[in-house]
Structure 1
């Protein structure tokens, strides 16, 4: 039982830790990028140090090579003068310097290998960081959009009842306006009935009763009157 309790506690702790990581994911990612940038900066500093040290050893090798060339000329001059023993001493010195030169050239070669390897790692890291930053920008934009959508959804769910109430209020206003219009139309009809204008309008529409006086009718009446007087 105790073992199960401990397992449950570890599981809970893991869930809590994972929840913290999830909620702080972008902040953690930003810090990891800053750490990578610091490491990249340190690598560039180390590259500069290696290049400087390589130059020191290269200059030393150049100096040794120049010295060996000078001693070779001295040995040839000693031989020309018959100073063979002196020439041997010069040759021994040349051998010692040649050994030093070979060692320095070996060191320079090792520096060249290390420098090239570190340069490659720096280029690769810079490319990865650039791509990572671009992807982080996309992730942050998506995160902001999703938060905005979530906020809108939350407000919508919280205001749905208010929206429904507003729609109902709008319908009630429309119904009241329609009722008012019907009432005003009925009042106008009642007023027309009381004044008789409604009956006159219906008779006129049916062609019954007084017709509208027209200029043509008046002219026809005058002509008829004139003709009657002449006859």
Structure 2
């Protein structure tokens, strides 16, 4: 009789564990996309705030991507992390949300709502709201490095039509000595810097392998890969995964 009780207890424990794991995967998430620039004097407080949030929510379903836009580059200082593709992405969001003109520092949460990146209370309320909504799309990623590229095996479940998988190569931290422009003579700290963003069309296949180009200074300790699924009709982020 004792053996039967022990066996039943172990079976219950394993079943409960499985249910808990499944429910954990369904929990809400918050993907914060910061649009920033070394040439913008209003941006350093936002960069610092996102750095604190990143550290605070490190083990939770909160993910941060910092895109350095290029439209400040003509104001006396060229941001070493700036990329015209990131400016285009911000303009795309302006169309999705019907909000123009674009600005820095702007934070967009889950592709739906924007915030001034330095306004901490509003941003934290936005994170809380996003985390309260259940996950609708499943995403699994496996990464293998091959010389100067990564092979990313992906599997997506529950996507809408016209969805895309975006894979970001993210540098966790960096400092920059700014010599000119609005932040002249300041050493700026940056966090979760997007160095490369690659898009994968999911209309043909929800499962496959993507080859991702890596920056020259890439290493597994100082970088991470964040993948997310986006509805290209509305801009909404449907699911996210970090590896």
The structure with more helix, counted as a fraction of residues: 1
Q: Which has the higher contact order (CA 8 A, sep 6+)?
A: 2
The structure with more strand, counted as a fraction of residues: 2
What is the TM-score when the length of structure 2 is the normalising length?
Answer: 0.19
